[in-house]
Amino acid sequence: MGDTEDGVGNAAYGRKKFNRSRSHFTDRVTADSRDGWPVEAGRYRLVVSRACPWASRALVSRRLLGLEDALSLAVADPIQDDRSWRFTLDPDGRDPVLGIHHLSEAYDARETDHPGGVSVPALVDIPSGRLVTNDYQRLTLDLATEWTDLHRPGAPDLYPEPLRAEIDELMEGVYQDLNNGVYRAGFATEQDEYEAAYADVFRRLDLLSVRLADRRYLVGDTITEADIRAFTTLVRFDAVYHGHFKCNRNKLTEDPVLWAYARDLYQTPGFGDTVDFDHIKRHYYQVHTGINPGAIVPAGPDLSGWLTPHHREDLGGRPFGDGTPPGPPPA
């Protein structure tokens, strides 16, 4: 996010044609170690920004699956500098496990002069200090399917095999039109480019609203990867995308179905407890000076509504299937 666009500095957002690059580092951490990276408790560090929707997918998955002890977490400052994500939230501005000031150091340890920028989420091999993967599309699927030996007892199946084709098809449309569509609208440099992206965003939101009118979750009757990917965009919609990215046909709170669905997930352990609206707002409004030159961070919106009753339980569904909710977040 903001860091996966080809060669775009912070001040250039909205002034240079938007192009989200594909993840350059696509090695996978698997149970059979077929890419040379075995699933191993304590070996890898997950680097995220709580501002970033792509990284937030991994935060939610890690919580739901109970991987906190097996996969340690580094949280970057939501305000990037010209070297991108930095560890200025930690003492001495250095990640205490990796010993680096900037995530780019792990990228450079893997490959110098790498293309595509420095992105989160990133999985770093702790012993070598080298980046393993920044493939945000694949990472959470592997956490769900390859890391099963390290899942907590009662962890949900977030990518159930019988539903994968339906999940994949739905996620592709959500990615193109919504997850990435809000960026295409927000960083557009031409009116027709913006209007096309705007139309995609709201067409997809309307389709999701119809789909969710009589079902609690997007695919099947439990939470899946599809819900995680929709949620991380929806939770940012009114705070950022409606105003900052000009996706202003209506707010999330003005769609009764999507607003209730988003609240339902927010109030589900593993979702809302990973969200940091302060990080979200400060990142978008202070980093994207190309479209917000004054770097003024809005005071709103009122966040109290996220904890109001949603009544989605009336539609049935079992959030964790035959499993259980995760315990309280680690201190």
Share of the chain above pLDDT 70, in %: 93
Q: Using DSSP, state whether 154 is helix, strand or coil.
A: coil
Backbone angles phi, psi at 194, to 5 degrees: -65, -45
Q: Pick the catalytic residue: 44, 136, 159, 183?
A: 183
Say if residues 119 and 37 touch (Cβ distance below 8 Å): no
Say if residues 178 and 230 touch (Cβ distance below 8 Å): yes
Q: Give the span between the Cα atoms of 176 and 235, in whole angstroms.
A: 18
Q: Is residue 6's pLDDT more than 90?
A: no
Q: Give the span between the Cα atoms of 68 and 327, in whole angstroms.
A: 11
Local confidence band at 36 (pLDDT 50, 70, 90 cut-offs) = very high
Q: Can 247 be counted among the known catalytic residues?
A: no
Q: 99-151 pLDDT, tens per residue?
A: 999 999 999 999 988 878 899 999 999 999 999 999 999 999 999 999 999 99
Residue appearing with tokens 């990615």: 175
Q: 154-210 pLDDT, tens per residue?
A: 999 999 999 999 999 999 999 999 999 999 999 999 999 999 999 999 999 999 999
User: DSSP readout, 69-114?
Assistant: TTSEEEE--SS-BTTB-B-TTSGGGS-TTT--SBTHHHHHHH-TT-
Say if residues 325 and 270 touch (Cβ distance below 8 Å): yes
User: DSSP readout, 33-65?
Assistant: -TTSEE--TTTEEEEE-TT-HHHHHHHHHHHHH
Local confidence band at 19 (pLDDT 50, 70, 90 cut-offs) = low
Q: Can 52 be counted among the known catalytic residues?
A: yes
String of b and e for 297-316 (b: at least 16 CB within 10 Å)? eeeebeeeebeeebebeebe
In this structure, the strands spanning 37-38 and 122-125 are unpaired
Q: Give the span between the Cα atoms of 301 and 291, in whole angstroms.
A: 19
Q: Give the span between the Cα atoms of 3 and 226, in whole angstroms.
A: 23
Say if residues 31 and 39 touch (Cβ distance below 8 Å): yes
Q: Give the span between the Cα atoms of 233 and 201, in whole angstroms.
A: 11
* pLDDT (average), residues 275-282: 98
- pTM of the complete model: 0.94
Q: Pick the catalytic residue: 13, 44, 52, 217?
A: 52
